[in-house]
Amino acid sequence: MNPTLKPPSSYSLYVHLPWCKAKCPYCDFNSHAADRIPAERYLAALIADLDRELPRIWGRHVRTVFIGGGTPSLFPPEIIDRLISAIRARLRPHSHMEITLEANPGAIEAASFRAFREVGITRLSLGVQSFHDDSLQRLGRIHDAAAAHRAVELAIAAEFESYNLDLIFALPGQDLAAAQADLRAALDYAPPHL
Distance, in Å, from the CA atom of 194 to the CA atom of 186, rounded to the nearest integer, reads 8
Domains of the chain (ranges, CATH numbers)? 10-187 (3.20.20.70)
What's 106's DSSP letter? T
Q: What share of the chain has pLDDT > 70, as a percent? A: 97
Residues 74-116 pLDDT 10s: 999 999 999 999 999 999 898 899 999 999 999 887 779 999 9
Q: What share of the chain has pLDDT > 90, as a percent? A: 72
**pLDDT greater than 70 at residue 176:** yes
**pLDDT greater than 70 at residue 2:** no
- The alpha-carbon radius of gyration of the chain (Å, integer) is 18
User: Please, what is the Cα angle at 19 between 108 and 82, to 5 degrees?
Assistant: 75
**pLDDT greater than 90 at residue 5:** no
Distance, in Å, from the CA atom of 80 to the CA atom of 119, rounded to the nearest integer, reads 7
Distance, in Å, from the CA atom of 182 to the CA atom of 51, rounded to the nearest integer, reads 43
Distance, in Å, from the CA atom of 15 to the CA atom of 193, rounded to the nearest integer, reads 20
pTM reported for the whole predicted model: 0.91
Alpha-carbon 69 to chain mean position: 7
3-state secondary structure of 116: helix
**pLDDT greater than 80 at residue 9:** no
